[in-house]
Amino acid sequence: MSSYDTLVIGAGLAGLTTANQLVQAGQKVLLIATGAGALLLASGCIDVLGFQPPDSGKPVKNPLDCVTNFLQDRPADHPYQQIGLGHIEAGLQAFLDLTEQAGLAYQGNAAKNWWLPSPAGAVHPTCLAPTSLANGELSQGGTMLIVGFPQLRDFYPALISQNLNAQVLGVTTTSAAVELPPIPAADQMNVTPIELALAFEQTEFRQRVVQRLKPKIKNVDRIGFPAVLGLNRHHEVLGDLEEKLGKTVFEISTLPPSVPGRRLFERLRHLFVHHNGRLILGSKVVDGTIERQQVTRVHFETANRLRSIQAKNYVLATGGIYGGGLCTDAEGGLGRVWEPIFNLPIEANPNRHHWFAAKFLAPTGQPFARFGLKVNDKLNPINAGGEPLATNLYVAGATLAGTDWTQGRTGEGVALASAGKIAQQIIDGA
């Protein structure tokens, strides 16, 4: 039976940042996950608080200043309540330190939101952003050209431009569609963001795109592309395009799969392994044993058998319903929600018809999105009486109850703040 200082379950933002902080503190850390987590679905930006009130559509300028008011308007179970406001800023700084080590350029701080164009031409207020996306800051004003490619579906530059111009943002935009050069082994009528990102890493491909785009860039200050400007050689691609076009270039998030999210996942994964962390992707943790308020072992699947792992501490960062960290089923009008590894208790309405709001984009969000694990101030899971079920088990990110990322846009802030608090507690107790 293998033994570790800490076992982290889940390879999303919360799991990877927790594991990286622990391994750099000298811990022997194992991270197990069934896949790459939700980062491949995310924008790559870090949202701490985007809107206050959450259903107002009013973008927040200073997230830290507004968090207190946000929590006063929310039920007491929002994770920021248990994590504590001081850990938000610390979690953001830890993330900036990690991304700098990993060779990713992120811009921003806890006292300011970037206002970036979304894939629909709305304002996306976010706290930390990759440099390529931060270059699209709307408050800088000026003129923008939004570039799209007919072969890349679900990215519509004319729609983005029209919606941005309809808002009083101090920026004027136009749009252009550019035909892509052929991409080997790709469906030429339906290119994916990952395929296009890899194509942009080829010098000749970029040159041909530049030649087709140059006649369209007169009288604009900045040029916005879909977020496909390289995967492994992103900085090289961005710099080369700015040099050849003579303009500031920025990226706009696309629908999944997310190239900036993939960049972040790959760099954090490599950083963890570089510091001698052990990573197992593609395996499922199937169960865990809790005895006398302590997790004593877990079992995970290998090719031909279950294998047992022991650790001093365990971090559950498996995500909520969206990420597969919670499971559901339904029979008739009844419904059941459960945590599949430790069978930890979850508060959920047993009538599944009450899990959903009447409108998909309801101002109050979807009730099921708030399902999760109740925790104490140390982020240990608790029972109905508030007692910890396991003092060496910690819950991070979207697995926490009340983490509805659609309400106020707090998802990544919760992930990083909980990761930082958990890592610090484990390090201090080592």
User: How far is the C-alpha of 154 from the C-alpha of 277, rounded, in Å?
Assistant: 38
Q: Ramachandran region of residue 100, left (φ > 0), alpha (ψ -120 to 50) or beta? A: alpha
Query: pLDDT digit string (tens) for 158-216?
Result: 999 999 999 878 899 999 999 999 998 777 788 999 999 999 999 999 999 999 999 99
Q: Is residue 60 part of a domain?
A: yes
Q: Is residue 173 part of a domain?
A: yes
Regarding whether 142 and 47 lie in a shared domain, the answer is no
Other CB atoms within 10 A of residue 283 CB = 14
Place of tokens 């190239």: 259
Query: What are φ and ψ of residue 45, in 5° steps?
Result: -90, 165
What does the block give as tokens for 306? 């279950």
Regarding whether 286 and 221 lie in a shared domain, the answer is no
Regarding whether 218 and 157 lie in a shared domain, the answer is yes
Mean confidence (pLDDT) of the chain? 92
Question: What residues contact residue 52 under an 8 Å CB cut-off, 6+ apart?
Answer: 58, 60, 66, 69, 70, 73, 408
Give the count of domains, the chain: 2
Question: Which residues, listed in sequence order, are joined to residue 406 by a DSSP beta bridge?
Answer: none
Give the count of alpha carbons within 13 A of 61, CB side only: 2
Which of 206, 230, 252 is the last residue before a domain boundary? Answer: 252
Regarding whether 88 and 192 lie in a shared domain, the answer is no
Regarding whether 418 and 270 lie in a shared domain, the answer is yes
Find out whether the peptide bond into 184 is cis, omega within 30 degrees of 0: no
Query: pLDDT digit string (tens) for 206-250?
Result: 999 999 999 999 999 999 999 999 999 999 999 999 999 999 999
The band of 75, judged by pLDDT with boundaries at 50, 70 and 90, is: low
Regarding whether 361 and 222 lie in a shared domain, the answer is no
Regarding whether 292 and 359 lie in a shared domain, the answer is yes
Regarding whether 271 and 246 lie in a shared domain, the answer is no
Regarding whether 273 and 243 lie in a shared domain, the answer is no
Regarding whether 420 and 305 lie in a shared domain, the answer is yes
The band of 1, judged by pLDDT with boundaries at 50, 70 and 90, is: low
- The terminus-to-terminus CA distance of the chain in angstroms comes to 21
pTM, full prediction? 0.94
Residue 220: domain span: 119-252
Instruction: Name the amino acid, one letter, at 80.
Output: Y
CATH of the domain at 146: 3.40.50.1860
User: How far is the C-alpha of 424 from the C-alpha of 430, rounded, in Å?
Assistant: 10
